[in-house]
Structure 1
Amino acid sequence: MANRKRGNGEGTIFQRSDGRWSGTIDIGRAANGKRLRRTVYGKTRKAVVEKLQEMQHRKATGTLADAGRMTVGEWLTHWFENIAKPKLRPTTQRSYEGIIRCRIIPQIGHLMLAKLSPVNVQAMQTELSALAPATRVKTHAVLRKALKVALRQGLVIRNVCDAVEPPKGSKPEMQTLTPEQADRLLKAAEGTEYASLIVLAIATGLRQGELFGLQWGDLDLDKGTLRVQRTLIELTAGHEFGPPKSSKGRRSISLPMMAVEALAEHRMQMFAKGCAAADHLVFCDRNGGPLRKSNFARRYYKPLLKAAEVPEVRFHDLRHTSATLMLADGVHPKIVQERLGHSQISLTLDTYSHVLPEMDREAAGTFDRLLKRNA
């Protein structure tokens, strides 16, 4: 039997037969005079009390929305602009805004938020089935995040996305260059405008935005070190600098001599152009401005791949190449994680699991060498 209790100003709170707690509060009356109530749930009574107290405050300040009159589109717009957007990087903001405007709202934006059902979400997935797998996965994820907040605020009684199997995605296929191919690419780049950028990409595994955001003050060529402190973020019009992608993104990296020499030569060229100040970008366009990924790929990177006669790998695959070469040569995965700026070593191991079998065979051979028991 439900255990009903009421605290001062708390609304009605009771413990359900399944052990969870539920709380209900009046939020006013509809135009026809019917009482409007909001219900919240929690694992403990304290959790429900806190949710109801938050609603009481929002009711008093006039910020408690009537879920019965709110559409999915209205909630998504409110959630994105006021809750999600301030926490997102500019590139992610554009991605979320496009998904909400072009994918979700045309399909289910007209439905009432409180009446949204798993059937509606499944129907949306079916309508979007012709889109790329990654787009469908991201669409489901954005809707689920928005409904998670709606659930926390008591606007819905459950997150209907949890009752629908998410679309299956497919990651872009990772391609890496062999040591011989990487060497051909480096030789093809010699004497070109961005030779040192290609060297640095392969030698450090930095993300493209981190490379494009490097400033001369981040380099200490005497010590052979580099500090990653920012990333260049492209906007529709212009650019801005942001923090590195992960919590481990701010990092110091030791440079191989080949990178130090390439950067020293590049700095001499930039010094002659008056572009070697500490706060100036290491890699810039011919006008001294930030590089744009599309222009760089079209005018320099793709022609370079062709000249080197190597597979047409993405620029990001140079990062994968760097990691794969290090792991294959026996560099400890923890060091690889720190150089790449991965938040967790599990990400490094999962991403480059294709290298592990060879490392396992080499580890087995270690005992023969150490104990001098060669077969």
Structure 2
Amino acid sequence: MNIGRLRGGYCVYWTGADGKRTRRQLAARSRKEAESEALEVYRATTYASRPKDPTVAEIWEEYREDLGDKPTATTMGYTGKAVLPHFGHLRPEDITKATCLSYAELRKNAGRAQGSVHTELGHLKSALLFAENTRMIDRAPKIWRPEKPQTDKRILNPGEARALIEAAIEPHIQLALILLLGTGARVGAVLDLTWDRVDFERGAINLRLNDGATRKGRAVVPMNASTRAALTVAHAVALSDYVIEWAGGPVGSIRKGISGAVQRAKIGHVRIHDLRHTAAVTMLSNGIPLEKVSQVLGHSNTSVTFSTYGRYLPEHMQDAVNVLDFMSLKTGR
């Protein structure tokens, strides 16, 4: 939403999700008045067709439409198949703790993992908060959901990481592995990476996208020596704008290629996301400050990094338990 000048006064204009541009004349005679009036005009025009006293199903679809082409919108198309039969007919004020717990129990009995149920109810929570923030409803209800389970993380040692890279047959898989382990990036960020965001002069890799399509944090990461060398070779023979390419085009998935490398390296079960975990724990275990690790991983704050990886670093609590060594401490009666 933007404010401009029109016929000697002010106007508000915006581009909708359908690409259509809308403009409305304002009565305001000052910039400050225009800002206040513009918001009311925008809401009145944009939300005029919205349902009054909406159901959860109506809110869900409104939220998906607002997300546009973001990945979450696609995911909610799947989670909605489970959530909406249970909650869709309800008004937000009808949702209670019992409603949420009964849903969790039904999904558990249907064989769904606790983490999946946590995600499904998380999408419901996000949709209802969106409805509150955009004034579809006065207040979003609390959503009770099961705890997100702690997943076991496979951390590769340096020898295993090197063996995995060397076991990759295809050049684009090997380059992807070097980037994943050398930057701590998520696989989506690596596959999205284009050469215009690789700065050889500064020695930096910009994993961020300017279109805001991703909700997960991404960082600008320096190159280490191995990453620079691999990128330099790949850049010299590049056939497209994408760093990870196959036959001159972008790559949609590297899961099969990495699975093959894992098998040839004979290092046991390894998931792609374990490479990010490996990068994080390796940095922390080598004394890199939590703040720097958080920046490399693109986390919004250090508390996210600590809650995810703190349990892999028991040594940071050593001084605390040392004072509990009552057999060694000399204390008075």
- Fold similarity call, TM over 0.5: yes
What residue in structure 2 maps to residue 73 of structure 1?
A: 57
CA distance in 2, matches of 1:191, 1:157: 55
3-state DSSP of counterpart to 1:226: strand
- 1:332 aligns to 2:289 (yes or no): yes
Give 1:173 shift: 2.3
2:258 pairs with one of 301, 319, 332? 301
Q: Tell me by how many angstroms 1:360 deviates.
A: 5.7
User: Shift in Å at residue 73 of structure 1?
Assistant: 2.7
Q: Using the alignment, how far apart are the partners of 1:74 and 1:244 within structure 2?
A: 24
User: Once the two structures are aligned, what percentage of the paired residues are identical?
Assistant: 24
Name the residue aligned to 1:107: 86
Amino acid corresponding to residue 90 of structure 1 in structure 2: K
**Does the CA contact (< 8 Å) of 1:197 and 1:211 recur in 2?**
yes
Gaps of 5+ in 1: 1-53, 232-240, 365-375
Contact 1:328 1:359 survives alignment (8 Å) = no
Range with bigger deviation, 174-183 or 107-116 = 107-116
CA displacement at 1:138 relative to structure 2: 2.1
Are 2:264 and 1:285 aligned?
A: no
CA contact (8 A) 2:169 2:261 kept: no
TM-score, structure 2 length as denominator? 0.70
For the 8 Å contact 1:140–1:161, the answer to whether it is kept is: no
Quote the offset at 1:256 in angstroms: 1.7
Tell me, what secondary structure is at the counterpart of 2:260?
helix
Q: How do 1:1-375 and structure 2 match up within 5 A?
A: 65-67=51-53, 71-81=55-65, 84-86=66-68, 90-100=70-80, 102-111=81-90, 115-129=94-108, 130=110, 131-148=112-129, 159-162=140-143, 165-189=144-168, 192-230=171-209, 245-246=215-216, 249-251=218-220, 253-270=221-238, 275=239, 280-286=241-247, 288-293=248-253, 296-298=254-256, 300-358=257-315
User: How far apart, CA to CA, are the structure 1 residues paired with 2:79 and 2:219?
Assistant: 30
Seen in structure 2, the aligned counterparts of structure 1 residues 221 and 125 have a Cα distance that, compared at 3 Å, is: same
SS of corresponding position for 1:326? helix
Aligned residue pair count? 278
String of CA shifts for 1:184-213, please: whole Å, max 9, x gaps: 123323784432222222111121111112
Q: Is the 8 A contact 2:168 2:260 kept in 1?
A: no
Amino acid at match of 1:266: A
Q: SS of the counterpart of 1:265?
A: helix
What's the CA shift string for 1:320-366, capped at 9, x where partnerless? Answer: 1112112111222222122221111121222221332245669x9xx
**How far apart in 1 are the matches of 2:125 and 2:281?**
35
User: 1 CA distance for matches of 2:192 and 2:55?
Assistant: 42
**1:63 deviation in Å?**
5.4
Q: Determine if contact 2:71/2:214 at 8 Å carries over to the other structure.
A: no
Determine the C-alpha separation between the residues in 1 that align with 2:265 and 2:314: 30
Deviation at 1:62, TM superposition (A): 6.0
- 1:116-167 CA-to-partner distances (Å, cap 9, x unmatched) read 55444433333222322122112222333344455678877865545xx422
Structure 1 pair 330–121 and aligned structure 2 pair: CA distance change class (3 A): closer
Q: 1:254 to 1:96 in 2, by over 3 A?
A: same
1:307 Cα deviation from its structure 2 partner: 0.9
Letter in 2 for 1:257: A
* Counterpart-to-counterpart distance in 2, 1:332 and 1:323: 11
Aligned 8 A contact 1:72 1:110 in 2: yes
Whether contact under 8 Å (1:327, 1:333) holds in the other structure is yes
Judging changes above 3 Å, is the alpha-carbon distance between structure 1 residues 161 and 215 closer, same or farther for their aligned structure 2 residues? same
Closer/same/farther in 2, CA of residues 80 and 212 from structure 1, 3 Å limit: closer
- Normalising to structure 1: TM-score of the pair? 0.63
Task: Supply the distance in 2 between the matched residues of 1:118 and 1:174 (Cα, whole angstroms).
Answer: 32
In 1, Cα distance between equivalents of 2:141 and 2:125: 8
209-218 vs 193-202, which deviates more? 193-202
Structure 2 runs not aligned, ≥5 long? 1-39, 322-333
- Partners of 1:246 and 1:343 within 8 A in 2: no
